[in-house]
């Protein structure tokens, strides 16, 4: 019963990642200057001051009136990652691969928290550290988690999605760092690196909810 309850709470923690996307849409709506998904960083939404901000090699005017909401969202997202990783660990029999994958994903949690606590206009080095933890460790963790699921012969669709999402996120991270945006713009490529993790966490959380209640709908 304790394991089932823990898995259900872990599933809810991961599924709560949807608030990360809701927050972005809400905070964007408060901008009086144009916000571009291709030309602005996600983190521009959390800037605490108005003014010119360096986005890649360009200076872009950034003013996010509801920045506090975005930074809180980053922190909540990070907490949800960590809680989920701890609480869903018994979903599969303990194995080095499964626990390693969860540990890598968990590292993305403090990364997201750093991004929220240290907005890019206040402490860029710590902000970049946090983003890197999510982009690299989070996406690598998805690949390992997916492989662990395959080896355990559990949830093949979810396992495949984890491997594909993590691999795509790692490739996008490499392209983002190399400043190769493939027509997506700097903001678009950043999203290609950042979004695979929360999207998969939402899917996994929804998938695990009926499983936690004794159902078998998690594919």
- Residue 214 pLDDT level (bands cut at 50, 70, 90): low
Cα–Cα distance list, 39 to 26, 55, 169 (Å): 18, 8, 19
Q: For residue 97, report the phi and psi dihedrals to the nearest 5 degrees.
A: -65, -45
**Listed ranges 24-38, 88-102, 132-146; the one with the highest mean pLDDT:** 132-146
Whole-number average pLDDT of the chain: 92
Quick check: is 155 in a domain? yes
Question: Does residue 104 sit within a domain?
Answer: yes
Instruction: Say what the pLDDT of residue 213 is.
Output: 60
Mean pLDDT of 152-161: 91
| pLDDT of 1 | 41
pLDDT over 80 (residue 218): no
CA–CA separation, 180 and 160 (whole Å): 27
Predicted confidence (pLDDT) per residue in 6-15, tens digit: 788 999 999 9
Reduced to 3 states (helix: H, G, I; strand: E, B; else coil), residue 26 is helix
Asked, for residue 219, whether it belongs to a domain, the answer is no
pTM of the model: 0.92
Q: Is residue 18 part of a domain?
A: yes
Per-residue pLDDT, 124: 93
| 173 and 135 Cβ atoms separated by less than 8 Å | yes
Total of domains in the chain: 1
**Range 170-176 contact pairs with CB under 8 angstroms and sequence separation of 24 or more:** 170/136, 170/139, 170/140, 170/143, 172/196, 173/135, 173/136, 173/139, 176/135
Pairing relation of β-strands 51-55 and 58-62?
antiparallel
Q: Residue 209 pLDDT > 60, yes or no?
A: yes
Contact 134, 110 (CB under 8 A): no
The predicted pLDDT at position 57 comes to 73
% of the chain exceeding 70 in pLDDT: 94
What confidence tens digit (pLDDT) does each residue in 60-98 have? 899 999 999 999 999 999 999 999 999 998 887 788 999
The residue-averaged pLDDT of 37-44 equals 94
In this structure, what is the dihedral angle of CA atoms 204, 67, 134, 205, given to the nearest 10 degrees? Answer: -10
Structural contact between residues 87 and 13, judged by C-beta atoms closer than 8 angstroms: yes
How far is C-alpha 2 from the geometric centre of its chain's CA atoms?
27
Q: Could you tell me the residue range of the domain that residue 89 belongs to?
A: 2-212
pLDDT of 215: 56
What pLDDT is stored for residue 91 in this prediction? 80
Give me the mean pLDDT over the 131-136 stretch: 96
Q: What is the pLDDT of residues 136-148, one digit of tens each?
A: 999 999 999 999 9
Please report whether residue 93 resides in a domain: yes
Does the pLDDT value for residue 99 go beyond 80? yes
Does residue 218 sit within a domain? no
Give residue 211's pLDDT band: very low, low, confident or very high (50, 70, 90). low
Triad 22, 169, 203: Cα angle to 5°: 50
Residue 10 belongs to some domain of the structure: yes
Whether 127 maps to a domain, the answer reads: yes
**Chain-centre distance of CA 154, in angstroms?**
23
């Amino acid at each position: 019963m304790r394991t089932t309850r823990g898995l259900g709470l872990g599933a809810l923690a991961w599924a709560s990642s949807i608030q990360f996307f809701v927050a972005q849409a809400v905070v964007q709506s408060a901008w009086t200057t144009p916000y571009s998904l291709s030309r602005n960083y996600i983190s521009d939404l959390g800037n605490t001051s108005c003014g010119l901000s360096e986005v890649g090699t360009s200076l872009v005017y950034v003013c996010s009136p509801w920045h506090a909401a975005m930074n809180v969202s980053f922190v909540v997202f990070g907490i949800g990652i960590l809680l989920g990783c701890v609480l869903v660990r018994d979903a599969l029999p303990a194995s080095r691969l499964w626990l390693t994958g969860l540990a890598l994903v968990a590292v993305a949690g403090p990364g997201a928290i750093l991004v929220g606590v240290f907005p890019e206009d206040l402490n860029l080095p710590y902000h970049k550290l946090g983003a890197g933890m999510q982009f690299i460790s989070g996406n690598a963790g998805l690949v390992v988690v997916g492989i662990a699921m395959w080896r355990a012969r559990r949830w093949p669709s979810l396992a495949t999605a984890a491997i594909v999402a993590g691999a795509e996120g790692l490739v996008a991270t490499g392209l983002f760092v190399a400043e190769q945006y493939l027509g997506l713009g700097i903001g678009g490529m950043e999203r290609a690196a950042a979004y695979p993790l929360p999207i998969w966490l939402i899917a996994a959380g929804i998938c695990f909810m009926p499983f936690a209640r004794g159902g078998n709908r998690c594919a």
